[in-house]
Chains A and B, each alone.
Chain A
Amino acid sequence: MNDKLLHAPPELDLFAADRPAIDALSRRVDADPENVERGLAQLVLTLVELLRQLMERQALRRIDAGTLTDEQVERLGTTFMELDKRMRKLLEEFGLQEEDLNIDLGPLGNLL
């Protein structure tokens, strides 16, 4: 693998939190129900996270455009902050890590 490193920081481990994110889809159909539920949660939360990021970027663009009042910015930010917290709680409930939302969404991933 080292021949693939064009540039790496000394603390390379920091990037290695990623595990191969094939949990949701690699299980056979007859996997036990708990795994199916977790896999489905992983897939759904991945989509939700993508949408959350998309909306956040859009919000930033609107703020940049300068058409929002301070109060509106505060409200928008609070909404995203709450969404963010809720997201983390859901991950915790399903025993997932941030990195687990790393499923390749194919062309959908290009929306960002």
Chain B
Amino acid sequence: MIELYAVTDHPTPPLPDVAPLRVVPCRDLAAVCAPAGDPELSPEALWRHEEVVEALMRDRDLLPVRFGTRLPDEAAAARAVADRREALAVALQRVRGAVELAVRLLAEAEGGQEAEAPAGGADYMQQRRAAAEVAAAIHAPLSRLARASAERPSPVRNEVLRAAYLVDREAVERFGHAVAGLQREHPRLRILCTGPWPPYSFAEA
């Protein structure tokens, strides 16, 4: 069994020494894989996968492969890439030179209290609208600094925005400054911005 970590260009720069990685070429693309370890699902295993992908990301563009993608052998990996070569090439082109940044936004009601229970249906919709407007006030300016963005549903009620942004590597700092600026403009909101991450949210081929 082998585990896939990324799809990247072929040829690719020398691989980092973080795992017994191997390149499986398929014309101008390559899968990066390593012998699969214990299939246990644990936070540590997830982080190990993430570390490998991030080490690879340092000096190459790549499509990160989700944790837990296993194939019988390298021939199967080559076939998997060959089967979707065009779509993968397009996706790789889309993320070329960019990384993913994640933003989460917590809205806080007056005085730090839980939002008041709505008085009725119209009031409830009004609260939802207010939350959507707060989210847009942050999301819109950040989207303009990104090549692409993706909003994700959040199950947490006062988390009004959870989004991923595909940002040019050289624009990461500017993005961070923009977040800090928005935080100053909206002192009652709590904005968390993390990254750079591999472009997981934009790797769909």
Chain A residues contacting B124 (CB-CB under 8 Å) are 77-78, 80-81, 84
How long is the Cα–Cα vector from A4 to B120 in the complex, in angstroms? 42
List, in ascending order, chain B residues with CB within 8 A of A5's CB: 192-194
B193 contacts which chain A residues (CB < 8 A)? 5-8
Interface of B is mostly: mixed
| Residues of chain B with a CB closer than 8 A to A76's CB | 121, 125
Q: How many residues of B are counted as interface, with CB atoms below 8 angstroms from the partner's CB atoms?
A: 38
- B27 at the binding interface (Cβ < 8 Å): no
Contact (Cβ within 8 A) A60 B155: no
B106 within 8 A of A: yes
Contact B176 A98 (CB under 8 A): no
- For B155, give its contact among A8, A75, A101 (CB under 8 Å): A101
A 77-112 binary contact with B (CB < 8 Å = 1; else 0) = 111110010000000000000111110010101101
**B1-9, B14-22, B78-86, B146-154: which one contacts chain A?**
B146-154
| A109 x B153 contact (CB < 8 A) | yes
* Residues in B neighbouring A101, C-beta threshold 8 A: 155
Is B72 part of the binding interface, using a Cβ–Cβ cutoff of 8 Å?
no
Chain A binding surface SS class: helix
Shortest C-beta distance, A22 to chain B (Å), equals 6
Q: How far is the CA of A1 from the CA of B156 in the complex (A)?
A: 23
Cα-based distance from A3 to B183 in the complex (angstroms): 19
| Contact yes or no, B153 A53, CB < 8 A | yes
Given A15-B192, A77-B123, A6 and B156 touching (CB < 8 A)?
no
Is B91 on the interface with A (CB-CB < 8 A)? Answer: no
Chain A residues numbered 63-83 whose CB sits less than 8 Å from any CB in chain B: 63, 70, 73-81
Supposing A99-B156, A101-B155 touch, asked if A6 and B176 sit within 8 A by C-beta, the answer is yes
The reply to whether B152 and A59 form a contact with Cβ atoms under 8 Å apart is no
Quote the shortest CB–CB distance from A99 to chain B (angstroms): 6
| Cβ contacts A to B, 18 pairs, < 8 Å | A4-B195, A5-B192, A5-B193, A5-B194, A6-B172, A6-B176, A12-B192, A49-B155, A59-B125, A60-B129, A73-B122, A74-B121, A81-B118, A81-B121, A99-B155, A102-B155, A107-B204, A110-B150
Q: A7-B180, A9-B191 are in contact. List 18 more A-B contacts (CB 8 A).
A: A4-B195, A6-B101, A6-B179, A6-B195, A8-B192, A11-B190, A26-B41, A49-B155, A50-B153, A74-B120, A76-B121, A77-B118, A78-B124, A80-B124, A80-B125, A81-B121, A98-B157, A109-B152
Chain A to chain B: the 5 pairs with minimum beta-carbon distance, closest first? A77-B121, A78-B121, A101-B155, A77-B125, A9-B190
